[in-house]
Amino acid sequence: MDFTHEIEKRKTFAIISHPDAGKTTLTEKLLLFGGAIRQAGTVKGKKGGKFATSDWMKVEQERGISVTSSVMQFDFDGYKINILDTPGHEDFSEDTYRTLMAVDSAVMVIDAAKGIEPQTLKLFKVCRMRGIPIFTFINKLDRVGKEPFELLEEIEETLEIETYPMTWPIGMGPSFFGIINRKDRTINPYREEEKLTLDEDYELKESHPIAEDEAFQTAVDEFMLVEEAGDAFDRDKIATGDLTPVFFGSALSTFGIEEFLDTYVDYAPMPTPRRTKEESQVSPTNEDFSGFIFKIQANMDPRHRDRLAFMRVVSGKFTRGMDVTLARTGRKTKVNRATMFMADDTETVNEAYAGDIIGLYDTGNFQIGDTLYDGQKVDFEDLPQFTPEIFMKVSAKNVMKQKHFYKGIEQLVQEGAIQYYKTVHTNQPILGAVGQLQFEVFEHRMKNEYNTDVIMEPVGKKIARWVENEDAITDAMSTSRSNLVLDRYDNQVFLFENEFAMRWFSEKYPEIKLYTLL
């Protein structure tokens, strides 16, 4: 069965950035440019009732932020491109981290006025750790920002990566004229249709008033300097994430996106192998189907109470109706309902190949990190789980709604944004999260999707540590400063009041072996 040509057509990337750098807008315009949608609703256009296609959750629409990872596919130049728009808000870094396990490359969006921001740096480090190629889009050139060389220097020094500008800006803000395309030495004007061309001496081949402009002369001088003294183009370094192609543009105006896409499809990798728990690798061209669940989302359509498990196809070919085995349980299941996201529309998937992201309709069988396979047994390595830092006691305001309350908690915990704990003797539910916003989203969704008001009582910041040798635990070890709770799998976890309390515990009970998640 030869489906290698289908796999070679797949390109799968995540968009990463700090909040407000324009990540969701860029996603939207890529879809628009690829013909996947007819009209872009931008984050700025909320008064008109239009929302970004990838911001489907009500709380996202109200706040203008992305707190879930959205998945969309479009066609461009003969390629099937899968985009994963990650949460920009740092409280949802765990969801973003898992998303980065499901892609083969990343696009880093940087605000030209702000440069490298903390969340960008954090996500970039995850990409470097995985060794995935990174493409950089410097956004908002239609506003006044930092000088291009300053931005490149900041990227190189802060992120310790070489840069190779594929385009170069002429002016910025009100004087922004356009970009020079390094590959073919053309100039793409921001407000005009016709492209201009530079000759071998960096002069315009055709007459144009911009030739007399100071911003144009400065840009050409800078461009010549980049050509002569900048980092050399190295395809191998792009592939290992040691060199990033850089593009300048304005996502809001759909400007500079064509140049980005043209280069991206040429140099981004096809689907890459994935490691298993046995430390072997599964090649995308392996004929046996395999994939893993990296995200679960309940109630994307509240009318149908649906639940989707997002799967990255790792190898072989997925066919609707096929029997697959769930590695965790060893049980076979027939997959009759699967969907693919085409921006503002979904369509039933009959076939999918390595690199594709598809949604499986789920009645509660799947968990984040699950491996599905057909043929030879495979079990992919675990996806990361973060150690929560903030904790809340939670209960239903109306005791008559306990059934809705526990169903809502179960489903939202399975999505992985919050973690579930309970007290040892009273089974009081306690939620753990990386950031405060996760609790706000939980409360909002319990009310709107499960019709349940909740009471949330802050437990505060705690240091959570799991126990390797649970048999050695005694009741006396659980105190107000080292509270023993159980996680959703009934593993024992100590919630320490602070670092001092944890050190005191370790000195008093040296036989207890504690460990942390990421």
- Enumerate the known binding-site residues: 17-24, 85-89, 139-142
Classify 215 as helix, strand or coil. Answer: helix
Taking alpha carbons only, the member of 29, 49, 30 closest to residue 40 is: 29
Amino acid at 324: V
Handedness of CA 398, 400, 406, 408 (dihedral sign): negative
Q: What's the Cα-to-Cα distance from 262 to each of 104, 268, 335, rounded to whole Å? A: 17, 10, 36
> Distance (Å, rounded) from C-alpha 86 to C-alpha 96?
5
> Distance (Å, rounded) from C-alpha 20 to C-alpha 65?
8
Q: What is the DSSP string of 55-96?
A: --SHHHHHHT---S-EEEEEEETTEEEEEEE---SGGGHHHH
Report the binding-site residues for GTP. Answer: 17-24, 85-89, 139-142
Taking alpha carbons only, the member of 30, 237, 246 closest to residue 133 is: 237
> Distance (Å, rounded) from C-alpha 444 to C-alpha 65?
15
- Secondary structure letter of residue 423 according to DSSP: E
Phi-psi bin for 64: left (phi > 0), alpha (psi -120 to 50), beta? Answer: left
| Cβ neighbours of residue 64 closer than 8 Å, sequence gap 6 or more | 43, 46, 55
Beta strand 281-282 with 274-275 is antiparallel
